[in-house]
Amino acid sequence: MDYQIGRIGRIAVARFGDGEELLKNLTSIARKEDIKAAVFYLLGGMQKGRIVVGPEKDELPPTPVWREISESSEIFGMGTIFWEGDIPKIHFHGALGKRDMVRVGCLRESAEVFLVLEAIIIEIEGVSAIRELDPATGLSLLKLVHL
């Protein structure tokens, strides 16, 4: 285990409208506001996107199991923002559902808002954390940097 203690910095409240690209816009906010570390919460609607619902087998590197979101769904979840080099990286896990079908997974690549989606971004100050490519998993994982 490795950890650092930080404190709450700025809080951003964002509203995304129908058809907007969620992940691209979250990245844009982090870049524009120079948010280096944050936790965020999402709630609202999504109509298109791709999620990973787990690895094919419990082995490294993991082979992701993808699911397409191709119709409007309710979405709720939380994620983090940490930078990899000069790029803010979004890591989000949440639940998406419509009618009696619910999926839980990691939202990746793209996500298109349906109607409206709200985001609360809470900046974390006082930690030195980045994302770094892990050769064993092929994923950009959190790394705490000790100065």
With a cut of 90, say whether residue 16 has pLDDT above it.
Answer: yes
Structure tokens at 72: 């409007």
pLDDT band at 25 (very low <50, low <70, confident <90, very high): very high
Distance CA 76, CA 114 (A): 13
pLDDT by residue (tens digit) across 106-115? 999 889 999 9
Q: Structural domain boundaries of the chain?
A: 10-144
The domain 10-144 is placed in CATH, from the list 3.30.1330.80, 3.60.9.10, 3.40.50.970, 3.30.70.420, at 3.30.1330.80
Distance CA 90, CA 109 (A): 10
